[in-house]
Chain A
Amino acid sequence: MELLRPSSAAEAAGALGNGSRALAGGTDLVPLLRDGLVHAETLVHLADAVPRGIDGTRIGAGTTLAELEVDPRTPQALRAACAQAASPQLRAMGTIGGNLLQATRCWYWRLDFPCYLHGGDRCHAKDGAHREHAIFGNAFCASAHPSDIAAALLALGASIRTTARELSLADLYRLPTEDDRDVTALAPDELILELEVPASETSVYLKAMDRRKWAFPLVGVAAARTGAEVRIALAGVAPIPWLLPTIDALDDATPLPGTAYKVEIARALVRRALAGLGASAR
């Protein structure tokens, strides 16, 4: 294995593809490499290649969650999501760009069961132990997306600029299918450089977890309001961050036997989030 340290985004993008992987905070990638769940001949270290810091409504992809957590310019929901994400050390190391691309915490996937996402022919969680798994978008794979930050950004209507294009955050993610088992639309040689987070009047992030800090979300609820327009997004409920058109859309959830409780929690947290925005539940 070799490690490159490009000094520009273009140089970094040029080094990607062909079995190399981009390395930022490394909090997810390093363990995955060690476990053999991800393979790389070359690591492309991004410390000098992607922007870091906040500039108006733009956030550099190399900004750490810890930096965002304490920066008063960070939109409220994102700031709350950062503060409640992972552990202090992981927040200090992990970047917002990397956070958006983290892999699922599904234990079957992490333990390398031959599941759909590993190219296999079934979802082990559906028939197995799945209390942490999905209530939406789980027809194929029942994994839950663990990013608090992605849910907050989705509610805030964020978009991203990559080395190749600009796209809305909603378009970064897609549900895995038989033919394409990736959960993001990013090309192997494409890097997230910046996020654009439009200002909203007010926003919140609420999170239910198994202990009071340092846990992935059972359910995370982000909501943002500008004027009468309210956007709600959920973490921990689907293989990807999940936009919820209205609170009533929770009636359409498709929970597994062991995840029905998440619908109940989501309902309570969405109601509280909307109340916190000064918005009605409808």
Chain B
Amino acid sequence: MARLIKTEKEVEGRYTEQWIVIEEDALDQWPEGPLNVVGQSVPRIDGLQRARGQAPYTADIQLPGMLHAAVLRSPHARARVEKLDLRTALAAPGVRAAIGPDDLEQLTDEPSYPGHPVAAVAADTFAQAQAALTQIELEWEVLEPLLDPDEAVRRGSTVSETDTYERGDYERGLAAADVVVEAEYRTQVVLHNSLETHQSICHWENDGLTVYISTQYIWGVRDAIAEKLELPPDKVRVVCEAMGGGFGSKNGPGDYTFIGAELARRTGRPVKCALTRREENQATGNRNATIQRLTAGARSDGTLTALGGDFVNAVGWTGWSPSTEGPMQLLYACENMRTVNHGAKLNSPPNAAFRAPGFVEGTFGLECLLDELAAKLDIDPLELRRRNYADSDRMDDRPFSSKNLAECYRRAEPHWERRDEVRARSEGPWKRGVGLASQVWYGGGGPPSYAWLRVGADGRAQVVTAMQDIGTGSRTAMAQIAAEELGLPVDRIEVSLGDSSRGPFASISAGSSTIPSMGPAVRAAAADAKRQILEIAAQRFHLEERVLDLKNGDIVSSDGGSWPLEEITGLLEDAQILGKGARGPNPTGMRVLTFGVQVAEVAVDTETGEVVVDKIVAIHDVGRVINSLGASSQVEGGIIQGIGHTLSENRILDPETGAVLTQTLDAYKLPTIADVPEIVTDLVDVPDPHLTNLGSKGLGEPPIIPTAAAIANAIRDATGADVRSLPITREEMLRALREAAERERHGAPAAV
């Protein structure tokens, strides 16, 4: 029965209250451990298509008569458009339409960050559109930008109210401490750099709008466009069959889609608006920089008596202030806490969710602080974490639906115990060490999400749902879940996704939610189809339904009977069995979180500041694992992005004008294959007994969260140097080494 409830919905750590209709989740979880298909290592079912370059990315779609848009973006961080004349651009070769701030809400005459869209043209070719932009007559009044986040907070320039959280008595907790450490940590802006840039094609047809778009959320794009353009939502069709990476930056339609829609409306032709790499690295979002001023107090036995943090998120012109304080609030059983979150509004490009926004940054600060505290207390860092283990959620006094972090710690031990051996391999200027850091994050997903499943006469099944596979392998995971429930080999399952007009509502692919939100709906749909198949089989074979089951493509009975599935489905001829499934509710009164720990081994060249990550062991608890092969890829991908964040990636602004200086991929340094350490993935594959019919949580984000802190702690172990600022470039490493040498000479500064 459908039930209307008001519930908390969490995406990327942001909670909202909303009404949703849910259906009860009547299925029991499968028994623990690997099953026939689920939990096995299954290569992607669309891998061949992608590897051969045949997958239909938005970038590859060419519609008849399609025009190309180019966007004039402000080169200034803050300016006023004094004069704008589109007439010469309109007269340029190939140009079909040109629009400015008077024509569209998304175009501005008061640009407030570099890359802010001001005008746009549509032309027969992209080159013509770009050339026409240079013909636009434009005069600016350039204004002084606000770029310093502390200054912004002082001036009250923030994107939201300052958010203060307290529990217990922070001051008393500090006073009760035998040791207090204070430190300031900084993290930089990093850029998503999905290899397929943000882009869409807008095509007005059948008195509605069809949008082909590289997106993580087909339904979110549909609803946002319908609302803005005042269209009935079912007049907006959103299509994304393959997309080239998102990492959190592609959750909505973006300015470019509204620009494309308007140009398409004016020209009566489909319009593609595809961003260049340089536009991508200015105007499509970023992981915002942070300044974290942290304090930890502990008794001499290691019990944390107080944790405090003042967090400044350098959000940009718009966006939201991520929960950089989240790890501090959730990871340890500290009774006394005060955190303050400021979201600085600046004349810099808006942030966007980027793989565990806030928690990646906050974990760097918190987990480095814990190691600094451990050093002061002379307690083993792993032991310090165990002594402050949280058995329940201290924020709302709720039990965890499941938590196997202690098991993660246990599995980390043999890797952690290598540190004497690793340190002993230091030689000459190369110093070696080992560090670890814990991880906490959401990842439980939630309702609503729906799936259909069709079984045809040939005994093949098709999962139909309007979700998207952003490159994580969701399509394959859904096929495995359906195959497991139906007792079919995975190659007899198709998955039809990526089109809002060809399937029911499906979850966003963000916040590590695709598997925990969609997987249970797919399993429920398969179970529904299975029930119908067995009902029919029971009638056909004059047997009781309860003695029948589906296994390896056969209908089997408890007395040893076995019939190929097609024997029943074949009766249907062109008709099909249709199963329907919905995602049930999350467990009430419980906190659903993911956990983990990573152990890093590094080598540091103390003369040149080079840091080499030799090995990362990643141990995470994300409930039941659906595809062990795809899961290891997610872990490796998160760690490699984490290494980029830790060592080489940095969006650099010109301090005077605010211009983005690192727009290109020679200047903005993503990791290459040569930067990859040995990565050991170890997942605690235990279903969460309270979460859905699968017991699975999401894995997209957890692996990137502890990497930076584990590396920084390994660097401290190797060299004694405190690296508190990301990225740990040569100059930062050499600075920290100098500071450590200085401290050595003058004796350690006293603990506060």
Contacts and interface: CB of A to CB of B under 8 A. Distances in A.
A107 B609 contact: no
11 contacts: A111-B661, A111-B663, A124-B654, A127-B656, A129-B655, A208-B610, A211-B675, A214-B672, A216-B666, A218-B730, A268-B607
Contacts of B731: 131, 258, 261
B652 A129 contact: yes
A200 B730 CA distance: 32
A215 interface: yes
A240 to B, nearest CB: 20
B93 to A, nearest CB: 15
B609 A111 contact: no
A214 B659 CA distance: 25
B750 interface: no
A212 B655 CA distance: 28
A268 B608 contact: yes
B672 A212 contact: yes
Contacts of B429: 268
Given A210-B729, A269-B608, A129 B675 contact: no
B665 to A, nearest CB: 10
Contacts of B610: 208
Interface in A258-275: 258, 261, 264-265, 268-269
B455 to A, nearest CB: 48
A213 interface: yes
Given A131-B731, A211-B674, A261-B730, A108 B661 contact: yes
A235 to B, nearest CB: 15
Contacts of A215: 666, 669
A128 interface: yes
A211 B667 contact: no
Contacts of B664: 110
A211 B647 contact: yes
B734 A264 contact: yes
A216 B647 CA distance: 16
A203 B675 CA distance: 27
B503 interface: no
Contact of A212 (B609, B675, B734): B675
B23 to A, nearest CB: 50
A268 B607 CA distance: 6
A265 B737 CA distance: 13
B605 to A, nearest CB: 8
B693 interface: no
A118 interface: no
Given A212-B674, A218-B730, A105 B666 contact: yes
For the residues of B in contact with A, the DSSP-based class is loop
Nearest to B612: A212
A211 B643 CA distance: 10
B641 interface: no
Interface string A197-219: 00000000000101111111010
B650 to A, nearest CB: 9
* Most A Cβ at <10 Å: residue of B608, B612, B662, B672: B608
Contacts of B659: 111
Interface of A: 105, 107-108, 110-111, 124, 127-129, 131, 208, 210-216, 218, 258, 261, 264-265, 268-269
A210 B662 CA distance: 14
A228 B730 CA distance: 33
Contacts of A127: 655-656
Contacts of A268: 429, 607-608
A131 B729 contact: yes
Given A127-B655, A269-B608, 15 more contacts: A105-B666, A111-B661, A124-B656, A128-B655, A128-B656, A129-B655, A208-B609, A208-B610, A210-B648, A211-B675, A212-B675, A214-B674, A215-B669, A216-B666, A261-B735
B655 A265 contact: no
Contacts of A129: 652-655, 661
Nearest to B647: A211
Contacts of A218: 730
A261 B429 CA distance: 17
A105 B664 CA distance: 11
B471 interface: no
B298 to A, nearest CB: 35
A110 B656 CA distance: 17
Contact of A261 (B609, B652, B653, B671): B609
Contacts of A265: 607-609, 730, 734
User: Which are the 3 A-B pairs with shortest beta-carbon distances?
Assistant: A268-B607, A261-B731, A107-B661
Interface string B465-489: 0000000000000000000000000
Interface in B705-751: 729-731, 734-735
B248 to A, nearest CB: 23
A241 B185 CA distance: 37
Contacts of B661: 107-108, 111, 129
A208 B730 contact: yes
Nearest to A86: B666
A265 B609 CA distance: 8
Nearest to A129: B652
A241 B398 CA distance: 64
Nearest to B667: A107
Interface string B593-611: 0000000000000011110
Given A111-B661, A265-B609, A210 B734 contact: no
Contacts of B675: 211-213
Nearest to B731: A261
Contacts of A264: 607-609, 734
A228 to B, nearest CB: 26
Interface string B429-466: 10000000000000000000000000000000000000
A67 to B, nearest CB: 22
A107 B281 CA distance: 14
A83 to B, nearest CB: 12
Contact of A211 (B654, B655, B671, B734): B671
Given A111-B661, A261-B731, A265-B608, A128 B654 contact: yes
A131 B653 CA distance: 12
A160 to B, nearest CB: 26
A212 B613 CA distance: 11
A15 B675 CA distance: 45
Contacts of A213: 672, 674-675
A210 B735 CA distance: 16
